[in-house]
């Protein structure tokens, strides 16, 4: 199967972007990263992408009169790269319904909670305040509502008695870097498919778990 062409959208350092770039170095990985784009010209992840030899571009949201104009430019940039799939990796803008529908079932996101719990920001502090015993991250197909859409995979981490938001965030981030490359791999292999607004995955095994538990 030919490698699928993927664009990654970031807003900051892009640690999940880096995890996807690292995974894509493997010759048998089914995705090729053809573009990294940021909505901030000072996003640190742009330099990481350039150092990896991946085309990188910044579209400063402040330079556009409206969200519609920004998204038109973003859409044109991604399509010009030949990307078939978009991965959001710390992209801190809520995309419009029009944009998400243009890329329906080809737009993936990773969120630092076990959705549908703790949508939005400050997920780690909110998890601690709620007293949950498990926290984690979710890779899902994007729908117009914030942090909504069919779930491809999740990874859980324990919440410890002495956790701080930063300590918990670090543990979740480690899980994110494992989960996102796996989910993108299965998606690009057409083994993860949206059926009636749920993701069905073919051929799961111990090597490809889509619910990762604390070790």
The residues annotated as belonging to the active site are: 111
Q: At what angle do helices 15-24 and 165-188 cross, to 10 degrees?
A: 40
Q: Which residues sit opposite 137 in a β-bridge?
A: 155
Q: What are 159's two structure tokens?
A: 């919440």
């Amino acid at each position: 199967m030919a490698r699928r062409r993927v664009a990654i959208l970031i807003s900051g350092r892009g640690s999940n972007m880096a995890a996807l770039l690292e995974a894509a170095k493997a010759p048998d990985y089914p995705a090729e990263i053809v573009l990294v784009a940021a909505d901030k010209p000072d996003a640190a992840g742009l330099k990481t992408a350039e150092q990896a030899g991946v085309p990188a571009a910044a579209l400063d949201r402040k330079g556009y009169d409206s969200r519609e104009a920004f998204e038109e430019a973003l859409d044109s940039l991604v399509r010009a790269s030949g990307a078939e799939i978009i991965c959001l990796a710390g992209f801190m803008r809520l995309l419009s319904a029009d944009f998400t529908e243009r890329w329906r079932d080809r737009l993936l996101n990773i969120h630092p909670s076990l959705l549908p719990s703790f949508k939005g920001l400050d997920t780690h502090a909110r998890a601690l305040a709620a007293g949950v015993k498990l926290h984690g991250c979710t890779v899902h197909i994007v729908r117009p509502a914030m942090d909504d859409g069919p779930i491809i995979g999740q990874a859980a981490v324990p919440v410890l008695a002495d956790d701080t938001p930063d300590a918990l965030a670090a543990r979740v981030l480690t899980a994110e870097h494992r989960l996102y490359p796996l989910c993108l791999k299965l998606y690009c292999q057409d083994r993860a498919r949206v059926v009636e607004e749920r993701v069905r995955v073919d051929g799961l095994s111990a090597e490809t778990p889509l619910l990762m538990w604390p070790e």
